[in-house]
Chains A and B, each alone.
Chain A
């Protein structure tokens, strides 16, 4: 349980700011994410000393240096393992894992996948800028086919991963998406991630001004966001567009965009967002909705309950301890079952 008693002096954003100079490129989307997390943590009712931020390597992974919490800037791609160790050692901690599309999905894909399937109760934020920032602009596993970078001068040829579908393939219990240009939405999403009892996977569309500027503008740019983004809210209809005049309906085998005209969403049979369906079909549907054909959904895409790895490991240990009477007997253990005396 990461939630303890509320501090006497309520925490504020300032408590989470380190004196270190933040060293991202001016204009980098990472600033806004940092800011939003610094605004989120004081509001969660968790003592400051119980936060741990763990990251891999990448621009995004510099994150822990700028959070005035316990932090660990580990090695490339391996943050999920260290974060798991921290959480298993002390389930009271609120563990935030920061990774990038290269760190988390290229070199670190396996650890991420196993952290997800194990349902370790940590919060994973994947900063997706569809490029390797820190190593200066090579394509990443989320770069679209044909992306020209230093290592792909004639265009990349590998199909990109869809991070949501990837997380779903590992049956992650909480999957969400948010964007670096919308602090309010980020904060809401981060809160939902922490509230979820289990692994939380949050993809953040993040802009890299230097090597992949405006990569997400077709989704969240001022021109496009009304038509190309769908803000999901549990229990509410899937409407979008200027004045919410469009909706998503299910035609029996796939989603469709329809104009609402003057009708209410209910009248038109617009789908109601239900992220808690146990199976994967619903989230798979959302994962494949993408502009320009569909609005790209943001918000909580999936949230289902399953026992967590860290709680169960603790339970098994506790049960074993409880099944003994009294303090365990080290000498007895070392002696074992068969001794003889000479």
Chain B
């Protein structure tokens, strides 16, 4: 039965593909085509999940739980819930796109590139499906290696430095994270997430609050760096600048945010709430900081990096207000960022393939030359600025509206980011596409999007619209997963008589604790 082993398949088909790639001859486009097929297969398999997912049931599904190592007991425990479901799909969805965007960009060392690319796929999927702390940690760390190597391999100017910077930024905190995990193990005797959750929730361990606080902090820092959260984002611009597009697409956001959802909120509810004020402040600062710095960039990639920082900070804000709507919005925004940010990076890389620079000051008047590319670019930019009926708006709106009752002041400030994001995005569009064609654009005659590029971009564009219009299809699953993490009363009906909708909702929000 497929359902019993589906997660293993989804996770390790790319690995198998990688091994085959290592053996393939370096001839023509053999490697590319094969990798594309593998990623498409993975995506197809992953579609099995939403189809057979039981949206009524909030626990983990498609669970696989086998013994791996006897003592200390480490289990091969996989499973997805409404949260990881979509993240897995996002990852597999970006797989083929990553191949297509690298099609021309990666000319040398293709075998190595696609080998590590597929390895990265496995690592990321594994992070989302692993339910044993050590197994999770395994995938988490593993996800660093191909990334770092590819950055070092493909970085145009300072690849090595960027790779090392990225690796250290993530690896150092995760060492402390491992300490915390081991400590929990010493106290509870299990690495299994579900059992850990139960044990910690039961509160029967008699662990000192201080110790728990430190443990949760170790978790949080490790994840916050990966997101990244405001002061810890030092690696992001360099990496986005140096990494190959296929990697830059996936380097930020989902992994760290997922981990915060799953582990910080799942294992340390009290501690997370204790540190919430700080995180909210950082989130809001991050929103404005990212937007303002994006305003100041002239390099497209760096601009995108900072805009990513801003958009992800929305998620942080939504998470740490612990309002159900805000949490849903945060997850949704995570998906948005994955899709829209990737789309923007892809578009930029297509520009780079044509004009060979990321420096906006050299561009101008491209719209006349590449109308299709310009159109898709504008659509993506609008999605990022949160135009209604596109996905970005739903995420931002849910986050802000959900969090507003909890922290009106902070959220009010955060909403200013809406103005700033529009500013830098439109300015970027104008500098690249509008005005008279620059000398660069005049001298390099280049055709508009070809078939491959259309195939790369349209799925994302369509998804942006679909998620903007049909959000409930995604949120119904997310809602189930988040309802356990949110505060019971998700908004304060301070003065008004609750509308009927609210009365109905309060019990729904109250029914928490789904193991």
A and B assemble together? no
A→B interface (CB under 8 Å) = none
B→A interface (CB under 8 Å) = none
